[in-house]
Amino acid sequence: MCGIAGIVSLGQPEPICPERLGRMVATLRHRGPDESGLYFFEDVAASVGLGHARLSIIDLVSGQQPLSNEDGTLWITYNGEIFNYRELRAELEATHVFATDSDTELIVHLYETYGADCLPRLNGQFAFAIWDERAQRLFVARDRLGIRPFFYTIYHHQLFFASEMKAILAVLPEVPPIDLTTLDQIFTCWSPLPPRTIFAGIQTLPPGHFMWVQQGQLHIEPYWQLEFPIEPNWDGRTVAETAVQLRSLLTEATRLRLRADVPVGAYLSGGLDSSAITALLYRELGQRLETFSIAFTDSVFDESRFQQQMAAYLGTGHHVLTCTHADVGRAFPDVIWHTETPILRTSPVPLYLLSDFVRRGGIKVVLTGEGADEFLGGYNIFKEALVRRFWARQPESAIRPLLLKKLYNYVPNLDNAAYLTQFFGHRLGETAVPHYSHLLRWRNGARHRRLFTPEVQQAIGAEQPLPDLPLPAHFGRWSPLAQAQFWEIRIFLAEYLLSSQGDRMAMAHAVEGRFPFLDHNVVEFCNQLPTDFKLRGLNEKFILKQAVRDLLPPEIWQRQKRPYRAPIHRSFFPERRPLAWVAEMLAPQKIAEVGIFQPQAVEALVKKVVRFGSLGEVDEMALAGILSTQLVHHHFVAGGGTAVAPQPATNQKIIRHGQIGYEKMEHG
């Protein structure tokens, strides 16, 4: 993984300022500390600058970027990995001359041959920009599921883009204000809704899309989207046959993700998904990797017993990082500098600490289990929707809603039948609503609106911000589970799990995460499975358990899904007293100065923590959301774009093309 940046003139060409592009790249150095490079093209029709901060994973010697094709007419800056690059290269070697062994060069030649049609051929995680000097055109693309980020904005007839928004903020004359509509989306839906971001005017290229930039115009279109079958649509394969196929696909996806010229490790959480990947590595592929996990001193969140059991079962070289409440509270401000957006939970913090632990152990690449829950029906929200639909067929039943107690045994008050019925019975009979599965989550999130000032509430409007993402043509004919999966994948997976909790936390310490469950062949296979192959009754990820049960101890594959969480209020209010930075961020004067939240409402929340020493789930999320919003303002808006001074680049190559004859200069 790396960091990419660029500037493209959209109007009358103006010279690209090298210092400005260099500052963008330097701001991303945490993503790519090994090398950096700048490329400039200038003539009477166009001016372009591409920048790159490199984390060397494949072809450590000759893979420097920006990189070109044979005649220097195509130039790329690229963040990601193409896992099938060897197979694709074999197809192209008859017609192209390769100067490196990198997957980067493969993309250039594949684009040269197929144009935008190269994208479906790529098995990987990527965001890249290619400048075509002959066509005077920029081509940008992002992977199918949004594993790697891409942000852009237009300012004074120039397009600025980068892997992280802070690189854009660092060179704009003024930091854009916080986008209040996006803030409302985050507090309601837990994530921004693409293409919006927390900063007004800065957008994200949606997953599975590409963009052309030519003659001052931007054109964006999808090349891949989620598809589920119109049920019933199954070919009659048995569970056993399907499990064999899934295991084969997962094994191949895992094998491909071992390709690297540096050591590879694996995260081991103690749950089914990461245990399955680690077991495939050891049993099917014969790879003896180092494994890493997080333990918590707070037993409510700790799963170290299962982690140690799995590590002992496989005989891995296992390493454990123990996370305390104090660790979470201390690291949270740095985590928000990396997320660049408010978050409603502290779960990214332990992963931020873990990536630092991994990198200090000499590992640059880790395999993890993300994606299994989304594509194989692992989350409680899928079961909740199933139970609510079952209950809606007999809404007067007092027994059916009791099934929900099995899902949320960690939530208080569910022993109270009246509370349970009132809480989960919200809009119970509206099963035809496209977002029925997420009605309760978004209703709970909308309660946070009471925290906003009257001015903010007026600005965002009275209506709850339901997602306006375009629905696929056959969405209404998908199964209820498929509809629920769509929302979870498009919003929570892409905009939070793979972003704030994934890319940002790993790349904060220059560690690359790889996700076998997000291989598009695995994804497309899982999407075609019948509902009861994924969710059989309330037994989640049923087909995955059948596929790997012989590789795992029964205690691992049979255990109920437990959501990954991290402590919130106890991390910020040890012994009911706020940490110094927490007291500063939540002080009435500071709250009023930022102008987003009502000081009285925040003060009431603080008093609740101090008096009772505990908070309910909604208030916990509110506390994390308020603190992270205040920190985003502190780091970026009040901080003038970036609260951390960019580090000067090392081993930087500068390439200039333009005018007549394409004069090339390189500076080491």
CB atoms closer than 10 angstroms to residue 599: 16
DSSP state of 248: H
- Cα(350)–Cα(326) distance, integer angstroms: 11
| Six-digit token string for 360 | 């200090």
DSSP state of 132: E
For the residues of 136-164, what is the DSSP string, one character each?
TEEEEEE-TT-SS--EEEEETTEEEEESS
Give kind and range of the element (H or E) at residue 217: strand 217-222
CB atoms closer than 10 angstroms to residue 472: 15
> Looking at this protein, which amino acid is placed at residue 96?
H
State the pairing for strand pair 74-82/124-132.
antiparallel
Of residues 427, 507, 407, the one with CA closest to residue 30: 507
Of residues 254, 514, 250, the one with CA closest to residue 364: 514
Long-range contacts of 311-314 (CB under 8 A, 24+ apart): 311/268, 313/552, 313/553, 313/556, 314/278, 314/279, 314/282, 314/283
Report the sign of the C-alpha dihedral through residues 439, 442, 447, 453, in that order.
Answer: negative
- Cα(593)–Cα(633) distance, integer angstroms: 10
Q: Name, in order, each residue with C-beta under 8 angstroms of 57's C-beta and a sequence gap of 6 or more.
A: 1, 81, 260, 261, 262, 364, 365, 512
Residue 591, classed as helix, strand or coil, is helix
Catalytic residue, chosen from 2, 118, 189, 323, is 2
CB atoms closer than 10 angstroms to residue 49: 29
CB atoms closer than 10 angstroms to residue 663: 9
Helical packing angle, 617-632 and 599-612, nearest 10°: 130
CA 208 to chain centre: 14
State the pairing for strand pair 137-142/290-296.
unpaired
How far apart, in Å, are the Cα atoms of 465 and each of 186, 192, 499?
A: 10, 11, 21
Residue 2 annotated in active site: yes
| Six-digit token string for 204 | 């994200």
Strand partners of residue 606: none
| 457 burial type by CB count under 10 A (0-12 exposed, 13-18 middle, 19+ buried) | middle
CA angle 333, 339, 340 (to 5 degrees): 90
- Cα(371)–Cα(375) distance, integer angstroms: 6
Inter-residue contact 620 to 569 (CB < 8 Å): yes
Torsion of CA 625, 629, 634, 640, to 10 degrees: 150
Query: In the sheet that 137-142 helps form, which strands lie side by side, from edge to edge?
Result: 67-68, 74-82, 124-132, 137-142, 209-214, 217-222
Report the sign of the C-alpha dihedral through residues 8, 13, 15, 19, in that order.
Answer: negative
- Active site residue ranges: 2
